[in-house]
A and B are shown apart, each in its own frame.
Chain A
Amino acid sequence: QVQLQESGPGLVKPSQTLSLTCTVSGGSISSGSYYWSWIRQPAGKGLEWIGRIYTSGSTNYNPSLKSRVTISVDTSKNQFSLMLTSVTAADTAVYHCARGTVMASMDFWGRGTTVTVSS
C-alpha cells in the first residue's frame, strides 16, 4: 500500500518561499503511469488543486498560482516537492500531496501539513 508523507516548515514569513516535500513509501515513484499532485485547503474551506508532475518531469500548474509555483521530483529519493514563492497570509493552509492516475484522479493522499504564513 503506497503511503505519502508531507514535510516542511510549519511557519513561513510573508514574501518568503514555502518549500514542502512529499515522501512516497510502499512503492517506487517511478513505477506505473502515475502523476504526483499538491492540493491545499485553508482552514474550514474547500480544496484547491495546486499542480502535478509526472516522473518524466512534465508539469501542470493552476493558473491562479502558476507564476509562483514550482513542482519537482527526485526519483532517487522517492520524493516530490513544492515551492511557492512570495507567500502571503492567503497561502496559509493545510497542504496535501497525492498520487493520481489518468483513470481515477487522486487515489492516495498524505495526511497533510499545516503551513502558516505570518511574521
Chain B
Amino acid sequence: DIVMTQSPDSLALSLGERATINCKSSQTVLYSSNNKNYLAWYQQKPGQPPKLLIYWASTRESGVPDRFSGSGSGTDFTLTISGLQAEDVAVYYCQQYYTTPHTFGQGTKVEIK
C-alpha cells in the first residue's frame, strides 16, 4: 500500500493568514503516460462528509474558492489556503488514487487562533 503522511497534524492561525499543509506519499503517484499526479485533497467539517477540493494535485473542483490551491509532484504535495477564513476550519485530508487501495493521509486539523 502507498502510505500517505501529512504534516502538521494540526495548525492554528489567525484570520487572513496563509495555511500550508504538506502531504508525502511513500511512492510516486505521478502517472508517466499522462504526466498527471493522482493526488486529491478533501475538506471535512464536523458532522459532514468529506468534500473534494483539489484533484490531479492542483486542479480545483468546480465551485471551490480560489484561495485553495494545490501543488507538488511525484511524492511531495502541498495544500495552501491563502487568506484563512472562519469557514475554513476543518480537517483536511490528502488521498492518492494512483493505485488501490486508495489511501488517505491521517488528516490535518485547521483552527483559528
A residues near B (Cβ < 8 Å) are 37, 46-49, 51-52, 60-64, 96, 98, 100, 102-107, 109-112
Contacts and interface: CB of A to CB of B under 8 A. Distances in A.
B48 A111 contact: yes
Task: Give the interface size bracket for B toward A.
Answer: 20 to 34
A59 to B, nearest CB: 10
A96 B47 CA distance: 12
B50 A109 contact: yes
B49 A109 contact: yes
A64 B105 CA distance: 16
27 contacts: A37-B102, A46-B106, A46-B107, A47-B93, A47-B104, A60-B100, A60-B101, A61-B100, A61-B101, A62-B101, A63-B1, A64-B101, A98-B49, A102-B97, A103-B55, A103-B56, A104-B52, A104-B61, A105-B52, A105-B55, A105-B102, A106-B40, A106-B52, A107-B55, A110-B49, A111-B48, A111-B49
Interface string B86-108: 00000001010100111111110
Question: Main SS of the interface on chain A?
Answer: strand
Contacts of B103: 49
A112 B44 CA distance: 12
Contacts, number: 65
A46 B44 CA distance: 10
B30 to A, nearest CB: 15
A64 B102 CA distance: 12
Contacts of B100: 49, 51-52, 60-62
Contacts of A100: 97
Nearest to B59: A104
B98 to A, nearest CB: 10
B102 A104 contact: no
